[in-house]
Amino acid sequence: MKKIFLFFCIVILASCGAKKNLAEQTGGMFSNFNGSVDLTEQYNLKYYISSNIDAEKMTVTWKDAMVINKQTNDTVKVKVENLRCNVLCDNPVAYAGIFDVHYKNQHYIVQFLYDVRTYLNVKKHEIKAIEKCYNVADLDPKMQEKF
């Protein structure tokens, strides 16, 4: 009798674990992220990324970027290239990404880090991710090939 009871307990626990795993795989979260970095003193880059986050996997569904002239407010749409994003942890949500942008014969690399714990900074009354932009147009192409 004890063996039968133990068998049923194992079956019930295994099925509950399978249901939880299935819920984690089919469940998920949708994230809209937008950022803004200065390319130069005159130009600012605004970008938008939409993605699905499922159990430590991030799939980008939409991306867009534009360069804004700070003096004239003219905007030019640019292409987001080589976008790579990855989930760092899913509770609380944190993810990082990197992409390339070409504008006026210059090559920029933009990095961002979204962590919900630092994104909503109540003390400073700001909502901001960590972002950094690098101009790599002047790098030696042979140096880049090494990496």
pLDDT tens for each residue of the chain, 147 residues long: 444 444 444 444 444 433 333 334 445 788 888 899 999 999 999 999 998 887 767 888 899 999 999 999 999 999 999 999 988 887 788 889 999 999 998 999 999 998 877 767 667 777 778 899 998 876 666 665 655
Answer yes or no: are the C-beta atoms of 52 and 59 closer than 8 Å. yes
Cα distance between residue 94 and residue 113, in whole Å: 7
Q: What is the DSSP string of 97-129?
A: EEEEEEETTEEEEEEEEEEHHHHEETTTTEE--
Question: DSSP code of 19?
Answer: H
- Report the pLDDT value the prediction gives residue 114, as an integer from 0 to 100: 87
Question: Can you give the residue ranges of every domain in the chain?
Answer: 29-146
Neighbours of 18 (CB within 10 A): 10
